[in-house]
């Protein structure tokens, strides 16, 4: 069968660019097509979040070779966020088009690049040998610390400082001061989702942490309501907080986490978490309209992950996507079934006895060694977890400090 290839395709097939390997690659991915037997392996080298080099090896037809060659030319020099936006359409268009039966070849090259970028984002290790995680805000507090229904966690890793959620009000400020934490040094703020008990303190924090970059999913800004016993409550961010985020976005201080996104090497946010478990749900009656007609599926729910030398640490805001869904996604992203620690809100407060038991049973597949339950986990779930894992559970109240290696 003869194919009508463009001059551009023939040129890149005859003289393919950037063929080879990168011995010290920051990200590597292999992808293949069962349909035609094509196989592609891509290596990337990243410098200051830009693709300094992209190499590949391909076993396939002229279209596959040309697509890989063109993909490298389009990707090299781009910031990884912009390179992520490269699609099969872009590759095919740059080649002047591909025969319909060969169009999947361009898809393979873009997909291989995406997977290599994902490998870089999720598999790099933290630059420091230790990290300290401090609970700034929780529903329960030690001693003189203030408690609020919400969550805020401070992460120190080397010279990097990240605030994961900001609680509902200004308790985050008081408790940080008591702990000797200078919020002005905050490098990044990650929002687990858009509920006010996690984002209400953001304005107060930003008055101090003016240089911080904010990481959140776009859906966190959507209207959010809950309904219980016929009562409807507005539970999303205030308009002033949304306006502040909008202004910061215009100044390049907001990163939208539609996909897994690196905050710093070894520390990444998951972005939207796939819902694959058949026993987990969002944990409540949540809606995006005040009449409670349109359910809020909470696509903004995300977790913060630290790749420590001795194991992966997963920080949960509320885990509306489900604890097991979250851990399963993290395991797939990091290609590591062993998760050393999970801590934060697990939103099992309204869960049935059956769901709690299924969650406990499913945790075994991840070999979790430390479990810190906070915020919306619920008294019944906490009791059952402690019974099931007596030596692994620890208190996660405001004022708690945990060190990781």
Q: Any idea what the Cα angle at residue 338 is, between residues 300 and 192, rounded to 5°?
A: 15
Task: Give the tokens for residue 45.
Answer: 């080298």
Q: For residue 17, how many other CB atoms are within 10 A of its CB?
A: 16
Per residue, the 3-state secondary structure of 160-216, as one string, reads EEEEECCCCCCHHHHHHHHCCCCHHHCCEEECCCCCHHHHCCHHHHHCCCCCCEEEE
Distance CA 291, CA 303 (A): 29
DSSP string, 62-85: HHHHHHHHHHHHHHTTSBHHHHHT
The answer to whether 157 is a known catalytic residue is no
Report yes or no: 147 and 138 within 8 Å, Cβ to Cβ. Answer: yes
The CA R_g of the chain, rounded to the nearest whole Å, is 23
- Burial of residue 304 (number of CB atoms within 10 Å: 0-12, 13-18, 19+): buried
| Sign (positive or negative) of CA dihedral 180, 183, 188, 192 | positive
> Catalytic: which of 68, 105, 376, 396?
105
Residue of 36, 61, 292, 393 marked active site: 36
Is residue 36 part of the annotated active site? The answer reads yes
Query: How far apart are alpha carbons 253 and 250 in whole angstroms?
Result: 7
Number of residues that this document lists for the chain:
405
How far apart CA 31 and CA 228 sit, in angstroms, is: 47
Beta strands in 325-375 (DSSP E): 339-345, 370-374
- The DSSP secondary-structure symbol of 335 reads T
Alpha carbons within 13 angstroms on the beta-carbon side of residue 263 total 30
CB 148 within 8 A of CB 171: yes
The catalytic residue positions are 36, 105
């Amino acid at each position: 069968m003869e194919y009508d290839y463009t001059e551009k395709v023939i040129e890149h097939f005859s003289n393919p660019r950037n063929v080879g390997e990168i011995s010290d690659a920051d990200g590597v991915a292999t992808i293949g097509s069962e349909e035609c037997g094509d196989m592609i392996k891509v290596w990337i080298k990243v410098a200051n979040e830009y693709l300094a080099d992209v190499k590949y090896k391909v076993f396939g037809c002229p279209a596959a070779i040309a697509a890989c060659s063109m993909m490298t030319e389009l990707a090299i020099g781009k910031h990884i966020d912009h390179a992520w936006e490269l699609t099969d359409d872009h590759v095919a268009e740059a080649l002047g088009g591909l025969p319909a039966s060969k169009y999947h070849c361009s898809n393979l090259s873009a997909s291989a690049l995406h997977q290599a970028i994902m490998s870089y984002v999720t598999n790099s290790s933290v630059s420091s040998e230790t990290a300290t995680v401090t609970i700034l805000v929780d529903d329960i507090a030690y001693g003189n610390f203030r408690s609020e229904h919400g969550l805020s966690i401070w992460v120190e890793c080397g010279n990097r400082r990240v605030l994961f959620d900001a609680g509902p009000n200004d308790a985050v400020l008081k408790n940080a001061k008591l702990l000797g934490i200078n919020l002005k040094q905050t490098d990044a703020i990650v929002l687990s989702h858009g509920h006010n008990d996690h984002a209400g303190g953001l304005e107060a924090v930003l008055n101090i942490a003016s240089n911080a970059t904010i990481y959140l999913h776009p859906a966190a800004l959507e209207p959010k309501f809950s309904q219980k016993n016929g009562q409807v409550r507005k539970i999303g961010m205030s308009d002033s907080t949304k306006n502040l985020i909008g202004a910061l976005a215009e100044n390049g201080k907001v990163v939208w986490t539609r996909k897994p996104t690196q905050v710093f090497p070894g520390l990444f946010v998951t972005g939207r978490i796939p819902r694959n478990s058949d026993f987990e749900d969002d944990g409540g009656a949540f809606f995006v309209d005040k009449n409670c007609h349109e359910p809020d599926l909470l696509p903004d729910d995300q977790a913060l992950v630290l790749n420590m030398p001795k194991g992966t640490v997963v920080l949960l805001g509320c885990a509306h996507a489900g604890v097991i869904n979250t851990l399963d996604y993290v395991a797939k992203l990091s290609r590591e079934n062993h998760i050393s620690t999970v801590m934060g809100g697990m939103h099992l407060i309204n869960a049935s006895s059956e769901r709690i038991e299924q969650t406990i049973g499913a945790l075994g597949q991840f070999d979790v060694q430390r479990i810190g339950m906070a915020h919306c986990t619920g008294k019944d779930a906490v009791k059952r977890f402690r019974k099931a894992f007596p030596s692994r559970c620890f208190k996660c109240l405001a004022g708690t400090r945990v060190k990781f290696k």
